[in-house]
Structure 1
Amino acid sequence: MGRTAFILFLFLTGSMCAQDVRLTAKTEVDTFRLGSWIDVHVEGTSPAALDTIGPVVKDSLGLLEVVTVERNGIEPKWLIRLTTIDSGKVYLPPIAFDYTIKGDTARHRAYTNSLMLNIAGMAIDPKGDIKDIKPPLNAPWLFEDYLPYLIALAVAALLAGGFYYYWRKKKQRAELLAEIKVIIPPHREALTALRLLEEKKLWQQGLVKPYYSEVTEIIRHFFERRWGIIALELTTDEILMQMKHVPDAL
């Protein structure tokens, strides 16, 4: 008997609490534009024994799509934002809320009132002219829009500057190398020429005169480089006369 009375007490307590949970849904206006936000404000009154409460909302409510669900702090107030692509009269069914009571693990459910919303579509004049679709509006350019172009321009400038610097250094190096002349001492040049003449083997071939002619030319060229005597244009006697005026020639 005592157990039955306890269960009956809990059932009556839950029933009374369920009756005390009242939820009201309303909107600030009755007419909305097609595609705009539809803000539904839900306010509730709850008994002191209420533990938790929250809306049972999925992706849609009837023909309305659920965008966001927000609660205003700890107060039993919610903002349910909806939208729709239908026009005319659109029915918003009662919104379900689940709640629990302190000391009771069972989940209970309460509902808001339903609403009839008026969704205004685009006004069309049946007698009006058919007009082309308007092109998209050009949004003003921001700094973020210019940033990729500025970065690309800076990279191109760096590459161009690096290429010019490399080309300039390479050109200067080529000019410097062109200006540098390898100076071979006169005696080394003469010895090299005599060695090349020996490799021709003119003497062995009986070409004695050409052999002596080349030897004479090598010696005269040596005199010109060593002592500055224009030996190629002078006779042997003239060369000897010139060498008398050179201190270290004889």
Structure 2
Amino acid sequence: MKVKKNIFVYTLLGCLLATTQLFAQEQYQDYFKVKAIPDTTQIRIGEPIRLEITAKVMIYALKGANLKVVFPNLPDSLNHIEITDRTQLDTSGSNEQQKLFKQIITLTSFDSGRWEMPPMKFEVFSVTDGSYDSVFTEPFFIDVNTVPVDTTKAFKPIKALRSVGWNILDYWPYLLACLALSAAIVLYFVFWHKKRKPAVVAPPARPAKAPYQLAMEQLELLEKEKPWNSDVKLYYTQLTDILRQYFEQQFHIAALEQTSAELMQNIKPVTVLNQQRDKLQSILTLADLAKFAKLQPSPQEHEDCLRKAIAVVEWTKPSAVAAEQPASNSTN
């Protein structure tokens, strides 16, 4: 009897939990809606389709929530469908009650048939608790038709080539260009060729800056200019390029040619750099989301990434003892 009682209690708790999750998911979908609406689904080969994708967040129903929406990153070609153009995100339809994101994508196809545009995945991040969820659009089909040809009519013969009479006026731009070039060459040799200027001695090249000094100057310039106020993607590109160039010059790691995952794998043998692994992982992850997933970090996150980058460079700079050791060995 005790076992049956426990089974009944666990079954009841499971049903309540499933019902609660289903209700929360349905309620969340009412507050966040995505759509993909094409202007037509019937085209001939090569004709464009204007696809409008929108994401609507009902702000009035999510008071206090801090959500970030990431639009689907579609490839240039999928399932016989080609993407020829895509606009920037438009938020002009937002107001105090709702936040509206809109993007126009131009599609076409060069293969006749019926092709499916699969569901598009939207990512929703919660800055408050770090959770995220996915929402999908409804799929739709595109019918691509060929140009009709009347096979009952006979083929027309190929016409012979026709010759066109020569006329000097047809070539006057080229003759004028040749005349101007000839005049320029004559004037050069008559007037300017004899007046040769003395050779200019180039100033001696200044010694190159140390990788640590160069990286710190670039990071201080970023902190002064605050480029994230105008272009978030450019800011994170500059920030990660400064770190990658520093790693490449200081530790001889091909950081500029590696992905974030490859870079994190290749810093393991460098002990002093691997000690800052958590800070570097945080910087690269947020930068990749901002550059490739169109994430919009907060101003505090911008400054936090910059402070972490400065800390990584400061921690890994060459010490005075290490710099003096080769000189003492050469003296001995």
Q: TM-score range by the shorter chain?
A: 0.3 to 0.5
Task: From the CA coordinates, give the structure whose radius of gyration is larger.
Answer: 1
Q: TM-score, normalised by structure 1?
A: 0.47
Q: Which has the higher helix share?
A: 2
Q: TM-score, normalised by structure 2?
A: 0.36
Q: Which has the higher strand share?
A: 1
